[in-house]
Amino acid sequence: MLAAKTFFDTPWEQLTPRMEEDFFTSLMTGNKTYKTTFHHRFSDINPYLLDYLLHHAPAALKVLDVGVSSGISTVELYDDLRQGGLDVEILGTDILVDAFLVRVFPKCHALVEPSGFPLRFDLPLVSMKPWVTRHDYYSGLFILRKLVNALFTHRARQILRSPGDTRVSEVKLVAPRALAKAGITVCSDDISRYNSAFEARFDFVRAANVLNHGYFSPAALSTMIANTGRYLRKPHGSLFVVRTHENRANHGTLFRRGEGEHFELVHRFGSGSEIEDVVMGVDIPAK
């Protein structure tokens, strides 16, 4: 597994797609969601979205991509829409964008959230995930993992308490080439909290691999969907919710904002979004 320090020290043009996938896919955040991502994840879907948006949205298109993780699929969406003739701007958001890489001991680093929640530990010869897996209980590795977790997390939190400590580096949990792309902006935002700065600003919202039953309760999903509804322009604004299954097949649904208080179904990909009923049942609050 690629060490966090190596990932952040590698010049962005030398980071391969494989390195980006390996690094982000191995991160689980404090709200128990994964940053799993891979290249060409939506190459089957983007041509349909392009065609739909060319016919139903303004040519100067404002897109909100929520839960972007590394931003790899954001860059691909941007490139596909742009090459298809749309003058697109994308705002990518994620609950976790900023993190700290802390030198906890010589040649040892902890990658942690601002809250101190641990994401990854680099030891001199190996990089390790903080959480224990079932396999660890068979192999006995869980003892080492728990020990390293307790020690590194405690030390990282202690160091973070001293302002300006040179052992702390601020890092962004976004692929550097997504940050470097003109036309894409990435910022931190929690979909479950209404953000008035986003009200009626977007023509298209994508929620890919984030609004899942496995991650959130139906009530939490309803709040998140209602928020995205308020962020869309009326009546043409559209919302795309999709989940990639283990076999890499995408199942998603495209919805239209319309003039009313409810989303309208436009198109299903695969078997459709697993939260289609939640989306259709949401009342989008008026301003």
Ligand X SMILES: C[S@@+](CC[C@H](N)C(=O)[O-])C[C@H]1O[C@@H](n2cnc3c(N)ncnc32)[C@H](O)[C@@H]1O
User: Residues in the site for ligand X, rule: CB under 6 A?
Assistant: 29, 31, 33-37, 41, 66-69, 73, 94-96, 190-192, 208-210
258: left (phi over 0), alpha (psi -120 to 50) or beta: left
Cβ at position 167, least distance to ligand X in Å: 25
Cα atoms found within 13 Å of the Cα of residue 236, Cβ hemisphere only: 15
- For the four alpha carbons of 225, 229, 232 and 235, in that order, the dihedral sign comes to positive
- 259-264: long-range contacts, CB 8 A cutoff, minimum separation 24: 259/234, 259/235, 261/285, 261/286, 263/225, 263/229, 263/239
SS3 100: strand
- Report residue 68 as tokens: 């972007």
Alpha helices, DSSP H, located in 209-283: 218-231, 276-281
Cβ at position 282, least distance to ligand X in Å: 16
Distance between CA atoms of residues 275 and 140, nearest Å: 39
Cβ at position 67, least distance to ligand X in Å: 3
List Cβ neighbours of 136 (8 Å cut-off, separation of 6 or more). Answer: 142, 145
Cβ at position 75, least distance to ligand X in Å: 11
Give the residue closest to ligand X by C-beta. Answer: 67
Quick one: 92 or 237, whose CB is closer to ligand X? Answer: 92
Cβ at position 96, least distance to ligand X in Å: 5
Quick one: 98 or 190, whose CB is closer to ligand X? Answer: 190
Cβ at position 260, least distance to ligand X in Å: 26
- Report residue 50 as tokens: 């392009």
Quick one: 33 or 238, whose CB is closer to ligand X? Answer: 33
- On the 0-12 / 13-18 / 19+ scale of CB atoms within 10 A, 223 is middle
Quick one: 95 or 284, whose CB is closer to ligand X? Answer: 95
Quick one: 95 or 110, whose CB is closer to ligand X? Answer: 95
Quick one: 50 or 68, whose CB is closer to ligand X? Answer: 68
Cβ at position 86, least distance to ligand X in Å: 20
Distance between CA atoms of residues 85 and 57, nearest Å: 12
